[in-house]
Amino acid sequence: MITEFDALNLKPLRVEIEAALKQVADKHSIKLSLGSFTYQSDSFTVRLTGGAGASVEETTKETKWRKDFITMCGYVNLSMGDLGKQVTLSGKAFVIAGMRPAAKLSIVIRSGDGKYQAASVESVKAALNSQPLKERENLNV
């Protein structure tokens, strides 16, 4: 039970609130995100932002990654059709979400919880080549 709010107890509370919001967002296919917390000992305030799909910042970043993948994939022997395909890396499932051409780990992959990571072209190509066709289906990015 929380009797006073402080930075230490707001961190785990934020994690719980975000988990609950994720369930609501997933249920309604929307994006919900929390802003910064401000607090006093007896209360706190946090901004909740919602939108259809993704936030403007994420949409811009994700759109650039997708466009870069479509433009540059041929230079690394991938195809446009690989965008959105599922791959398994280190035993975890990811979806190919885009490309950052200037980065050493240039392929952007998205995990099941919506978080983005970077992967090497070689590891993604190896994962694509080692999976049965059914596992490589396109999963809408």
DSSP states of 6-60 as a string? -HHHHHHHHHHHHHHHHHHHHHHTEEEEEEEEEEETTEEEEEEEEEESS-HHHHH
What total of structural domains would you count in the chain? 2
What is the domain extent for residue 26? 7-52
Whether residue 141 lies inside any domain: the answer is no
Residues 83 and 113 in one domain: yes
| Assigned domain for 78 exists | yes
Q: What is the pLDDT of residue 140?
A: 46
Helix (H) / strand (E) element for 99: namely: strand 92-99
What pLDDT digit, counting tens, does each position of 61-79 carry?
A: 788 899 999 999 999 999 9
pLDDT beneath 50: ranges in the chain: 56, 134-141
